[in-house]
């Protein structure tokens, strides 16, 4: 709650939903940052070069950043402990990138159940779709697993001899 009282969002949505959506958005931001870190790590970049690449990657649209994961997959040997993870990560993120866009750009309302209004780029129109608390919880859990795994990968790759 702000020092001026409850915001318009707080008046309409439960604090649990606001927290969960905010948590999910932050997890998505971390995933994007860790993808950039992963790419820089497998490219063996350090210092200013690594920062430049990460900045360039972070400026890309989300779908392009997801496509860039292919660099990691291509650099890791097929039998590397992380190879399967990165081979599965790219199609998974492509499949669920719309959830990230809904969370970041959508307008959530709670009249007659939870709904999100968002622009569907593929259809070229505004859509209204239903969702429930369980879906939000699942999105948060999956994003958390991915963020933790990417964080572990970056740590392992950066500390290798």
- 57-112 pLDDT tens trace: 888 888 888 888 888 888 888 899 999 999 999 999 988 988 999 999 999 998 78
Q: How many domains does the chain have?
A: 1
Asked if residue 50 has pLDDT above 90, the reply is no
In a domain, 1, yes or no: no
In a domain, 40, yes or no: yes
pLDDT, mean of residues 44-65: 84
Please provide the average confidence, as pLDDT, over all residues in the chain: 89
* pTM score, whole prediction: 0.87
In a domain, 3, yes or no: no
Give me the domain span that covers residue 89: 8-158
The pLDDT value recorded for residue 54 is 83
In a domain, 18, yes or no: yes
Residue 151's CB is within 10 A of a number of other CB atoms, namely: 16
Contact by Cβ (8 Å): 118, 105: yes
In a domain, 139, yes or no: yes
pLDDT, mean of residues 130-136: 91
Asked if residue 27 has pLDDT above 90, the reply is yes
Contact by Cβ (8 Å): 32, 65: yes
The pLDDT value recorded for residue 137 is 95
- CA dihedral (105, 96, 54, 35) positive or negative: positive
∠138-140-146 over CA atoms, to 5°?
Answer: 105
Contact by Cβ (8 Å): 53, 84: no
In a domain, 95, yes or no: yes
Collect contacts of 125-134 with beta carbons under 8 A, ≥24 apart.
Answer: 129/102, 133/16, 133/17, 133/20
Asked if residue 42 has pLDDT above 90, the reply is no
Contact by Cβ (8 Å): 146, 89: yes
In a domain, 101, yes or no: yes
In a domain, 2, yes or no: no
Asked if residue 134 has pLDDT above 80, the reply is yes
């Amino acid at each position: 709650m702000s020092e001026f009282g409850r915001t318009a969002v707080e008046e309409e949505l439960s604090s649990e939903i606001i927290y969960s959506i905010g948590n999910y958005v932050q997890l998505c931001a971390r995933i994007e940052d860790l993808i950039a870190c992963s790419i820089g790590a497998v490219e063996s970049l350090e210092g200013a070069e690594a920062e430049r690449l990460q900045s360039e990657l972070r400026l890309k649209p989300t779908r392009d950043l997801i496509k860039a994961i292919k660099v990691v997959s291509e650099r890791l040997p097929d039998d590397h402990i992380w190879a399967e993870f990165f081979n599965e990560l790219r199609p998974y993120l492509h499949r669920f990138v719309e959830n990230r866009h809904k969370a970041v750009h959508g307008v959530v309302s709670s009249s007659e159940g939870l709904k999100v209004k968002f622009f569907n780029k593929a259809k070229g129109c505004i859509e209204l779709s239903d969702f429930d608390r369980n879906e939000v919880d699942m999105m948060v859990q999956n994003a958390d697993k991915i963020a933790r795994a990417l964080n572990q990968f970056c740590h392992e790759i950066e500390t290798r001899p």
